[in-house]
Amino acid sequence: MVASQNVEETMKQSRHWTLESPDDAEFSSKFDFLEQFTSMCRHKKLAYRKLLEKDEHPTVVSCWLKCCHILCLGIMHRMTAKTGLRLSVVVHDVPENEGPVSGEVFFRCWEAMGRPQDMGDFNERVKK
């Protein structure tokens, strides 16, 4: 019992690794994007060759999919647009010392709400 209490106290006091530097937080966001993007492509059976349709070199596309550090919002929007997906950036509040919420959590909540497209649509669904 004492050991588990110590672990819980340590966990509450420790900072999430993404809070150590802006670079860590940026890496986490980019990695989360790649995880969601590749998962969505597999789930929807989207071929990565769609990324090549607009004169993108295969080496460039390979780097996009394997190298988080080169991603920027422009590239992420190009990747999603070419595969028929969309990208949204979400800002959220979390308790102190906790890291960001996975984009997958936001996606599943959005789906559970019936995929509202704006706040009016969201409010209508909440009323039901």
Considering just the CA atoms, what is the radius of gyration of the chain in Å?
Answer: 18
For residue 126, pLDDT over 80 is answered with: yes
> 45 and 83 share a domain?
yes
List the domain range (segments joined by +) for residue 109: 90-128
Q: Which tens digit of pLDDT belongs to each residue from 7-49?
A: 455 545 576 666 677 788 788 888 889 989 888 888 888 776 7
> 81 and 100 share a domain?
no
Q: Which tens digit of pLDDT belongs to each residue from 54-73?
A: 667 777 777 777 777 788 89
Structure confidence at residue 116 (pLDDT): 93
Structure confidence at residue 22 (pLDDT): 77
Q: Which tens digit of pLDDT belongs to each residue from 90-109?
A: 888 877 767 778 888 888 99
> 68 and 117 share a domain?
no
> 76 and 100 share a domain?
no
> 32 and 51 share a domain?
yes
- Per the domain annotation, does 119 fall within a domain? yes
Report the alpha-carbon distance of residue 96 to residue 118 in Å, rounded. 29
In the chain, the number of structural domains is 2
> 66 and 99 share a domain?
no
- Per the domain annotation, does 3 fall within a domain? no
Q: Which residues lie below 8 Å from residue 79, measured CB to CB, with a gap of 6+? A: 37, 51, 64
Report the alpha-carbon distance of residue 13 to residue 3 in Å, rounded. 15
